[in-house]
Amino acid sequence: MNPSTAGSLAEPTYLNHETTVRSWLLTRDHKRIGVMFLVLVISALLLGGVFAMLLRIELLTPGPTIMGPMTYNRVFTLHGVTMVWLFMIPAIPSAFGNFVLPLMLGAKEVAFPRLNLASVYIYAAGAALTVFGMVWSGADTGWTFYTPYSTTSPTAVTPILLGVFIIGFSTIITGLNFITTTHTLRAPGMHWSRIPLFVWAIYGTSVIQVVATPVLAMVLVLVALERVAGVGIFDPTRGGDPVLFQHMFWFYSHPAVYIMVLPAMGVITEVVCAFSRKNIFGYRMIAASTFGIAFVGFFSWGHHMFVSGQSTFGSGIFGVLSMLVAIFTAIKIFNWVATMYGGAIDLKVPLLYVLGFIFLLTFGGMTGVAVATTSLDVHWHDTYFIVAHFHYIMVGSVLMAFLAALHYWWPKMFGRLFPERWASVAACTIIFGFIVTFLPQFLLGNMGMPRRYYQYPSEMQWLNVLSTAGASLLAFGFGLIGLYLVWSLRYGKVSPANPWGSRGYEWFSASPPGPHNFREPPRFEREVHDYTVSEAPHVF
């Protein structure tokens, strides 16, 4: 056992210095709050995954398989609501951001610890209300709640709207906390040019969260008011305008794509450096492109509305702005590949997920440029091509980065190692399963299969069967991950303080960290991920 390991075992950690249930429920420790968020978002992922498998089983045959058409409508709505609002938006910022951002900045805590604890309970309350709506009678509107159908649907849309509305407050609080923490709690030596790129990604995401989320809250309240009080805002039979809903909804929900993807890109940058044993290529370009994506993201919502009746000139402008996102994204991809080029590649499990991420983001990004072209989008609009594009970009990117982060920071969070061989099998299964699931859906969409449809022509069945086979592989891979990670909590090898030999600042602390992160304030006297320095990171 090396000295750093012995030290980390002898010292109390955030996990064992207090062990009562009360100490967890009332904690203001950002690390425990990160773990609480991790448990909640993984629960949401499991629930959304069950709904996804039910959908894929139903689509095994052209006609009815295991459910009726109305049940199908509710299941795909609940799958989308769960995955988008309960998992993908909060997953990386709230779980991993809470855990590692203060460590990366050399801080003992976030700026507002009590508000941080409140954000967990607000999220839990919103999620509980959303699940209550699902159990009560579900909703059949899709996760976008398009009007005027969502204002008249007899299903339990209102509690789900209010649940998502409440979750928005948790998102805003978390964003404010991260922005303030980054500005005020940086350790000595932590200049703006030394801030880790994961923190830059969380910072940019937080700006979007704080600026855009109130617009979503407003539109959800208006839909709820229209359902409950009958005011005519979006329903044309009452003098409302359904296109107004689309403008307001997508003004938030398109930047929300980057609330999901930007933190994922931050994770990828950290993992690429750690397992290439190399300084990041183009630190300033990656940081600048983060804010380029965040800025342009606010001006490209109209590409969701090419067929809504907006002018040809307006559609052209929104198309060009959408394509600008691809340029900023390409800058990041180029810099990740350039970082790996010539590096001492260590192909561990987190890097496997990075490779999956880069493939899915590049492939999905190219289809994104295609659907930002108005003539092509009219052909593919509301078909399975859009479903496949959406899943490659958003779901694939977030899942790959979430799993990369989970495996990269697992020893930091729990002080245990997972079995590398089983983890490699699971990673390959999930990457292959994801491709097999969604690649056929590009073909289905190009053949004209509409999204959200319960039945389809028999000649499309083999592609749907292939897609369901891929989904089964995904389910197997996630089940395997759950088994070995739970096993590792009790039986896994005790991790050294820095099992990957990373030069990231968060590894300056013990694994798992102590209750106050550091015994003395750390000084960051070198650049983050500086592999030109021979010594290993210190453990405070």
The residue among 494, 540, 527, 441 whose CA lies nearest residue 55 is 441
Q: How far apart are CA 136 and CA 375, in angstroms?
A: 42
5 membership: H or E segment, kind and range: helix 3-10
In sequence order, what DSSP letters do the residues of 88-124 get, joined into one string?
Answer: ITTIIIIIIIHHHHHHHHT-SS-S-HHHHHHHHHHHH
Residue type, 463: L
- Decide: 343 and 501 in contact? Cβ < 8 Å: no
Q: How many Å apart are CA 117 and CA 156, to the nearest integer?
A: 29
Q: How far out from the chain centre does Cα 167 lie?
A: 15
**Six-digit token pair at 459?**
């000649």
In 348-408 the beta strands, taken as DSSP E runs, fall at: none
CA angle 487, 30, 9 (to 5 degrees): 50
Q: What contacts 339, CB < 8 A, 6 or more positions away?
A: 272, 273, 276, 278, 279, 280, 281
Report whether 504 contacts 529 (CB < 8 A). Answer: yes
In degrees, rounded to 5, the angle at the alpha carbon of residue 89 between the alpha carbons of residues 111 and 227 is 110
Higher pLDDT, 139 or 401: 401
For the chain, how many residues are written? 540
pLDDT for the residue 3: 40
Q: Please, what is the Cα angle at 212 between 211 and 213, to 5 degrees?
A: 105
Question: What share of the chain in percent tops pLDDT 70?
Answer: 97
Angle formed by the axes of helices 349-371 and 420-447, nearest 10°? 10
CA dist 300 → 244, 316, 317, 373 (Å): 16, 11, 9, 13
Give CA–CA dist 436/472, Å, rounded.
10
Tens-digit pLDDT profile for residues 230-286: 888 898 888 899 999 999 899 888 888 888 899 999 999 999 999 999 889 999 999
Question: Model pTM?
Answer: 0.94
Domains plus CATH for the chain? 33-507 (1.20.210.10)
The beta strands (E) that lie in 448-522 are given as: none
Q: Per DSSP, what are the bridge partners of residue 517? A: 514
Is residue 212 very low, low, confident or very high in pLDDT (cuts 50, 70, 90)? confident
Least confident of 85-89, 377-381, 421-425, 526-530: 526-530
pLDDT tens digits, one per residue of 480-518: 999 999 999 999 999 998 999 999 999 989 999 999 998
Q: What is the pLDDT of residues 347-403, one digit of tens each?
A: 999 999 999 999 999 999 889 888 888 888 888 999 999 999 999 998 999 999 999
- d(CA 288, CA 85) in angstroms, rounded, equals 27
Q: How far is CA 507 from the centre of its chain?
A: 23
pLDDT digits (tens, 9 = 90+) for 49-104: 999 999 999 999 999 999 999 999 999 999 999 999 999 999 999 999 999 999 99
Helices and strands, counts by H and E, the chain = 18, 0
Which pLDDT value is given to residue 519?
Answer: 82
